[in-house]
Structure 1
């Protein structure tokens, strides 16, 4: 991650992604020296002075008012998530003095109770950097059955979903729509940077991914943000085959930055049947015969679960 990704970088990159026609400005076919809108065009659209906007983009002016930020958001055509991110970046830019690092993350007892309440539905708890803080039995089997189930209990060894999506072959194969998942992961990390600009572990993670994955570096340079919400994915599990799943995100009010992600499928679908089989296969079997039966059913499901 750059030393000063902040407000100026976001404005510059989003400005470069717009053409005059995108914002209703005439295009006389002149040859442009830079991609996207010029600074004067964006300043005009936002109703602010060119010199003031230039200082904002260069990081010289650190006191953009909420009204100016909202005007820039409208001019850039930002959605609500992106507008909130713009305000987060501006607040981070205005901070001065010694900054307090975020406290280490831990999962409370009530969150563990919530996780267990999902029963056989695959569920995982993610922290502000997308570290896996916990998962239930089926959540572990769905997302990371190749890893030790107890590893989230060790803070310095916890899996990180962003790292897994880009650097772990098992996770890459798990998502048929890998490119879609990768864009979502990068967008969520961008969102986290605005919310937790003083988190050194977050900066380290982004730097590691940019160094080890050219795909991550390319997506990161787009400066897009994504909210935590419901998303549909096609997944290819090595035990039960292909499934169409909805990954739904629930925030945890008492633990800022933490979220529960739950996988569900359409009622009566082959994907729901595959999830049931995955739950059975990952359950401790009292009798070996029962375990073998569940495993055999999973093998049969590889050709029928869709």
Structure 2
């Protein structure tokens, strides 16, 4: 998708989510033909002309200044992640798609992973590919897959693909819809930063074609990085447990994610996790 089209769709999606009452505008009588704000209303709130904003939303203007972007972000009530995504989309230069090299795990990150071998932990690439995992992470999240799959770039599991297309992973998450929204929101952010990544474009295209649920979430243009959240799991071996997934950024590889999965101390979930350690 071209840069101007991504920016256009993001602006329209966010404009549709803001009601006049949310920003102090009166609700005029009669039936509104658009969801959310009209272009005229948003232009007024942001202090730009209607014609300029229309060109921007239609992809006919690609040189918005920081001041205009900041004003639009305020008017649209964007959070810090959505604001950053707006800047990413507006600043991209047109570049052809390219196939990036296979991602590698830095030796220091691998040392860190080895040092927490008693905990479920994994290293994810920027597209959500599993680059490495501890034995307990494999047993907890993907025991049906080969434990050595992350070592082969062509066979690496991908978190988004697993979540939407793998029945085991879908069944694993009792909070599947919430997890799905989080993963897609994170993928949206990555796509805004790397519009020329051919592998990412291929992944999004595959999931859009094969999963109507992914397509719906993708078209919502939600933008939010995965940071920390608790999820209920239905594990086929140890039963139900609640885990917290926390995301850290490796110092040497800031585009990768170091994910730690923990349980509450003294909980039945901790006991259930302990049963997986022999596997």
TM-score normalised to the size of structure 1? 0.87
Could you tell me which of 214, 227, 230 is aligned with 1:216?
214
Q: Which residue of 2 aligns with 1:125?
A: 123
Gapped runs of 5+ residues in structure 2? none
Gapped runs of 5+ residues in structure 1? 283-306
CA distance in 1 between partners of 2:155 and 2:64 (Å): 40
CA distance in 2 between partners of 1:99 and 1:204 (Å): 10
Match of 1:208, SS state, is helix
CA distance in 1 between partners of 2:128 and 2:269 (Å): 26
CA deviations on 1:189-239 (whole Å, 9 max, x unpaired) are 101111111101111111111111111111111110111211110111111
Q: CA deviation at 1:33?
A: 2.0
Larger radius of gyration: 1
Q: CA deviation at 1:141?
A: 0.6
Match of 2:102, SS state, is coil
Q: Which residue of 1 aligns with 2:34?
A: 34
> Are residues 1:43 and 2:65 paired?
no
Q: CA deviation at 1:101?
A: 5.5
Q: Which residue of 2 aligns with 1:202?
A: 200
Q: Is the 8 A contact 1:126 1:258 kept in 2?
A: yes
CA distance in 2 between partners of 1:98 and 1:217 (Å): 24
Q: Which residue of 2 aligns with 1:184?
A: 182
Q: Which residue of 1 aligns with 2:172?
A: 174
Q: Which residue of 1 aligns with 2:273?
A: 275
Q: Which residue of 2 aligns with 1:151?
A: 149
Q: CA deviation at 1:6?
A: 2.2
Query: How well do the aligned residues superpose, as a CA RMSD in angstroms?
Result: 1.4
- Number of residue-to-residue matches in the alignment: 278
CA distance in 2 between partners of 1:46 and 1:151 (Å): 50
Q: Is the 8 A contact 1:6 1:90 kept in 2?
A: no
Q: CA deviation at 1:274?
A: 1.3
Q: CA deviation at 1:102?
A: 4.0
Q: Is the 8 A contact 2:243 2:269 kept in 1?
A: yes
Q: Which residue of 2 aligns with 1:78?
A: 78
Q: Which shows bigger deviation, 30-39 or 154-163? A: 30-39
Q: Is the 8 A contact 1:102 1:196 kept in 2?
A: no
CA deviations on 1:89-133 (whole Å, 9 max, x unpaired) are 1111xx146676644311121111111111211001100100111
CA distance in 2 between partners of 1:97 and 1:81 (Å): 24
CA 270–18 in structure 1, closer or farther in 2 if over 3 Å, else same: same
CA 212–100 in structure 1, closer or farther in 2 if over 3 Å, else same: closer
CA distance in 2 between partners of 1:124 and 1:91 (Å): 32
Could you tell me which of 235, 239, 245 is aligned with 1:241?
239
